[in-house]
Structure 1
Amino acid sequence: MAKDKDRIQKHVNIVNRKASFEYQFIDKYTAGMMLKGTEIKSIREGKVNIGEGYCVFQRGELWLYNVHIAPYTEGTHFNHEPLRPRKLLMNKRELRRLESDSQEQGITVIPTRIFISDRGFAKVEIALAKGKKLYDKRQDIKEKDVKREMDRAGY
């Protein structure tokens, strides 16, 4: 019984670290997710991979694709598919603005973070993003190295 309580976390924060390296974020939004019962249990265990995830508009609705939520270990034959598309829940006004902004060339919508809200709901933070060029990535690495050296020197 004690092992079960250790396995399930109250505060979950799963971050897509690769996204900040590959993309420049223009705007961020928070959206709810339509999940099945075993999916929320797997999220609370922290068994989620959002590294390859992306969002697509279909008939005015926003869908989250290619996010792997591992099957729940205690689940029965009602367990969920790990890579199934999930509908994101947002205000109509936000959806319209996001859809119009994402129609531009080179702009995409990607998930940056999955977390559990204070009320216990699973939320996903999505970003309107533009892909970085190679020289932008080099500049970010250079800035990170300079900051690390400054911290080591005690400035």
Structure 2
Amino acid sequence: MEIKNRSAYFEYYVDDKYVAGISLLGTEVKSLRTGRASFNDSYCLFQKGELWIKSLHISEYSHGTVNNHDPIRDRKLLLTKRELKKLDAKIKEKGYTIIPLRIFFTDKNLAKLEIGLAKGKKLHDKRETIKQRDTERELKRYIK
């Protein structure tokens, strides 16, 4: 199962990608396995030298009991110290942000989050992206 942030490449230029572990609760993992997550307005930020993901919505597990999780709680991302230092230095530059790109499960059934170091696009860049997408779609139709 893989959940993608579809608007990430439309809104941002992604420079670097990193794979981070996420500290999750049991009901969150079960809910992710069914594909019940939303990246709307989610972003990553540093707090006390640790990287956290904010406003990632993981829906409550349907068969959960009273011990179900809070859908929009902050979740800690697990990266090496070297990666954290590198990301922290880049974030301090003007215009860079860290955005979630996709959630996936590894062969060992561990939930991982792919994050990207990105710069925001301007309106004219977004229009250009739409034009490119339309021309690619037309070429595929023509080839068929």
TM-score, normalization: structure 1? 0.90
Q: State how far apart, in whole Å, the 2-side matches of 1:82 and 1:145 are.
A: 36
Q: Aligned-pair RMSD on alpha carbons?
A: 1.0
User: What is the 5 A alignment of 1:6-155?
Assistant: 12-154=1-143
Alpha-carbon offset, residue 51 of structure 1 = 2.3
Amino-acid identity (%): 52
Q: State how far apart, in whole Å, the 1-side matches of 2:106 and 2:133 are.
A: 31
Instruction: Write the letter of the residue equivalent to 1:121.
Output: L
Asked whether the equivalents of residues 32 and 88 of structure 1 are also in contact (C-alpha less than 8 Å), the reply is yes
Alpha-carbon offset, residue 149 of structure 1 = 1.3
Q: State how far apart, in whole Å, the 1-side matches of 2:104 and 2:41 are.
A: 17
Structure 2: gaps spanning 5 or more residues = none
Structure 1: gaps spanning 5 or more residues = 1-11
TM-score, normalization: structure 2? 0.97
Asked whether the equivalents of residues 42 and 70 of structure 1 are also in contact (C-alpha less than 8 Å), the reply is yes
Q: State how far apart, in whole Å, the 2-side matches of 1:36 and 1:148 are.
A: 41
Aligned residues: 144
Asked whether the equivalents of residues 29 and 127 of structure 1 are also in contact (C-alpha less than 8 Å), the reply is yes
**Secondary structure at 1:98 match in 2:** helix
Q: State how far apart, in whole Å, the 1-side matches of 2:134 and 2:13 are.
A: 19
Q: State how far apart, in whole Å, the 1-side matches of 2:136 and 2:71 are.
A: 39
Runs of 4+ in structure 1 over 4 Å off: none
